[in-house]
Structure 1
């Protein structure tokens, strides 16, 4: 019987088939590397090779700059420059831009810009995001933010782009910085020294005091003012004398004119850009002098 079993090919074939089946079960079941895993690896490799051959990939973005083209007592206009690079051989649409500016975790402003344009194939574009901060809204919402202070901010931007083959993806980016909440400088007329007084013409020298209550320096470029005596405007002048008014500091200037009420504006440079700020003083008191009066204060 044993010899006939050894010579029977049917038994041999059945045993080999069983061995192969068992081997396949071991490959599929136990430790990875089975048929299904090999198919997955094959598809993954083919996908990567197709992506490499066609040249599709995820775009990149970065905040390359933040500018403050306008700032006043009431608001600050910011422009956030976002540089987007497209490595693909076809243009990709920039579907949406979602932005948020906060300060110490508190939202200052947010918004959405739809249909923001197209990034050229194998190219790069600088997308400009305009943002306005209204200081009255910020100060009314957060009582601890006072005029004259400098507050930190964080710009968070999320770009939604539509990439062929890959699909829609989100690109989050952010950048921090500082922005001032300006305070109007105080102006006062310390004294008026008359040189000539008549019905036709009156000339005098005004000794002006400007006080900077901001936490940043002001580089004075221009001072324009007009003087009133009661309801009558009696004089106006423009000074291009430059001066530096240090933060929480005072500077003194001299100008021609006469009067009791003064209103005008100053043009100043700051670490955050150029500003034009109003100045005013109503009902102020000052000393009035004549040319022949002796006073040590003339050196001011």
Structure 2
């Protein structure tokens, strides 16, 4: 508590104690008015973020009042997610407005029963309830709104380059495009994949970590493979002689999720890509 405000607050306490306690306090001290201003995301990542809830607080009294804490209970889609108390070192100045910020760190996977429901969701509803602790008074606060859910990277084959072609097989390099659709940087800890060209399953494998991708940006991962026509069939050589070919790429992306450990998220992409020589 700021010692500059002690005399005024002690005077209020003495008067309240003399003339009837809390009921008298309500008459002497006008309740500050609190209004929800909005929510912004801080330190966002693919699986974790800190929503910061901002409240405008107007103190109509002729004395400053120390803000002792903000208690909160956060629900997402009706499910209890977090609760606690934030103790900002701030003061509500006399006859003026102040902004109080309430940060709450959340893990997105805590919001859903399954990984598939996380993958299908674009937004969630939030509901915040709590109280503003002013020592002599506790004023309820509340907030409702919608929060965006981050999206997994988008994967597609950009092209296949034929670097070597022979009667028995070919050497190929696939350019895998990875797009980050989020407003923050991100990386992938690894990819497991299976690749089909036309009707032929060509290969399956895994990669190491993918370099960090900038926000709303793209990256290209190159995967070299050798194709044996004897084991796969010569139909693949005819596909490689075309200008474009159909493909299907399926697999899993791996991420080290805070508080959950390594999790695998499925992906599947079909399309048509150019063949370059």
For Structure 1 versus Structure 2, the TM-score category normalised by the shorter chain is 0.5 to 0.7
Query: Which structure has the bigger radius of gyration?
Result: 1
CA RMSD after TM alignment: 4.9
Say which structure is richer in strand. 2
State the distance in 1 between where 2:70 and 2:223 align. Answer: 47
State the distance in 2 between where 1:296 and 1:277 align. Answer: 22
- C-alpha deviation, 1:208, in angstroms: 3.4
Pair 1:267-2:267 in alignment: no
**Partner residue of 2:141?**
173
- C-alpha deviation, 1:277, in angstroms: 10
Pair 1:57-2:57 in alignment: no
**Partner residue of 2:81?**
108
Cα deviation code 1:117-139 (max 9, x no counterpart):
21111121111111100234444
Q: 1:94 aligns with which of 67, 70, 90?
A: 67
- C-alpha deviation, 1:67, in angstroms: 0.4
Cα deviation code 1:124-171 (max 9, x no counterpart):
1111111100234444xx448822312211122311224xxxxx2222
Q: Is the 8 A contact 1:97 1:159 kept in 2?
A: yes
Question: Between Structure 1 and Structure 2, how many residues are aligned?
Answer: 192
| Structure 1: segments with no counterpart, 5+ residues | 1-42, 163-167, 197-203, 213-217, 229-258, 270-275
- C-alpha deviation, 1:108, in angstroms: 0.8
- Do the aligned partners of residues 207 and 111 (structure 1) sit closer, same or farther apart at CA in structure 2, a change above 3 Å counting? same
What's the secondary structure of 1:76's corresponding residue? strand
**Partner residue of 2:243?**
295
State the distance in 2 between where 1:154 and 1:277 align. Answer: 35
